[in-house]
Structure 1
Amino acid sequence: MMLSDYPWLLLPYQQLASGIMHKRAHHALLINYVQGSGENEFIENLVNRLLCQNSQQLEPCFKCHSCQLFLSHHHPDYYAITNEQGKQSIGIDQIRNISSKIYEKSQQGGNKVIWIKHAALMTEAAANALLKTLEEPPDSTYFILSDEHNSQLLPTIHSRCFSYFLSTPKLEQSIEWLKNKHDQQYSDNELASALLLSENAPLRAIALLAPEKWQQRNVFCSQLLEVIPQNNYWQLAKTFDNEDFIERIIWFCALLSDALKAKQKAGRFIVNRDQVPLVRLLATQNNEKLSALYHLWLQARNQLLTITGLNKELIIYNVLAQSELISEAKS
Structure 2
Amino acid sequence: MKNYPWLKNTYSNIINYYKSKYKKNTILISSTIDLGINILSYNIGKWILCSNKKKINYCNQCINCILMQQKNNPNYYKITTNNKNKKINKKEINTIFNNIYNLIENNYKKIVFIEEIEYFKKYINNTFIDNLIKPQKNTYFILNTNNLINIKKQINNKITIWKIINPNKKICIDWIQKKTKIKKKKCSIALKLSEKSPLKALNILNKKYWKNRKKLEIKLIEILNKENKLDLLTNLNNLENIEIIKWICAILMDAIKWKYKAYDIIINNDQYTLIKTLSKNLSIFSIYKSIKIWIKYINLFEINTVNKKSTLITSILNWENFLLKNKKINKCINN
Which category describes the TM-score, using the shorter chain as reference length? Answer: 0.7 to 0.9
Match of 2:218 among 215, 222, 228: 222
Aligned to 1:259: 255
Aligned equivalents of 2:204 and 2:46: distance in 1? 30
Q: How does 1:1-331 map to 2 (within 5 A)?
A: 2-3=2-3, 6-22=4-20, 24-85=22-83, 87-104=85-102, 109-124=107-122, 126-128=123-125, 130-149=128-147, 152-153=150-151, 155-183=153-181, 185-186=182-183, 188-230=184-226, 232-241=229-238, 243-244=240-241, 246-284=242-280, 285-306=282-303, 308-309=305-306, 311-312=310-311, 313-330=313-330
Any unmatched runs of 5+ in structure 2?
A: none
Distance 1:309 1:303, change over 3 A: closer
* 1:28 and 1:134 in contact (8 A); partners too: yes
Name segments (4+ residues, structure 1) moved above 6 Å. none
- In 2, Cα distance between equivalents of 1:315 and 1:151: 29
Q: Residues of 1 paired with 2:99 and 2:218: CA distance? A: 57
**Alignment CA distance shift 1:169-1:85 (3 Å):** closer
Task: Give the AA of the match of 2:2.
Answer: M
Give the TM-score normalised by the residue count of structure 1. Answer: 0.88
Residues 272-303 of structure 1: per-residue CA shift (max 9 Å, x gap): 12212211221113323222222232233333
Three-state SS of the structure 1 residue aligned to 2:73 is: coil
Deviation at 1:319, TM superposition (A): 2.9
RMSD over equivalenced CA pairs, Å: 2.5
SS in 2 for 1:73: coil
How far apart, in 2, do the equivalents of 1:38 and 1:258 lie? 28
Distance 1:52 1:23, change over 3 A: farther
* % identical equivalent positions: 26
What SS does the aligned partner of 1:36 have? coil
1:105-156 deviations in Å (ceiling 9; x for gaps):
58994311111111111151x2225324224311111111112146622522
The verdict on how the C-alpha distance between 1:234 and 1:158 changes in structure 2, with shifts beyond 3 A counting, is farther
- Cα 1:235–1:309 shift into 2, 3 Å: closer
1:298-328 alpha-carbon deviations (Å, 9 max, x no partner): 2333333358435413343223322332343
| Aligned 8 A contact 1:190 1:273 in 2 | no
Contact 1:16 1:25 in 2 (8 A): no
**How many equivalent pairs are there?**
325
Letter in 2 for 1:298: I
Change in CA separation of 1:9 and 1:265 when aligned onto 2, cut-off 3 Å? same
Instruction: Give the Cα–Cα distance (whole angstroms) in 1 for the partners of residues 326 and 96 of structure 2.
Output: 54
| Cα deviation, residue 232, structure 1 | 4.6
Alignment CA distance shift 1:175-1:56 (3 Å)? closer
- Structure 2 length normalisation: TM-score? 0.87
Pair 299,15 (structure 1): closer, same or farther in 2 beyond 3 Å: same
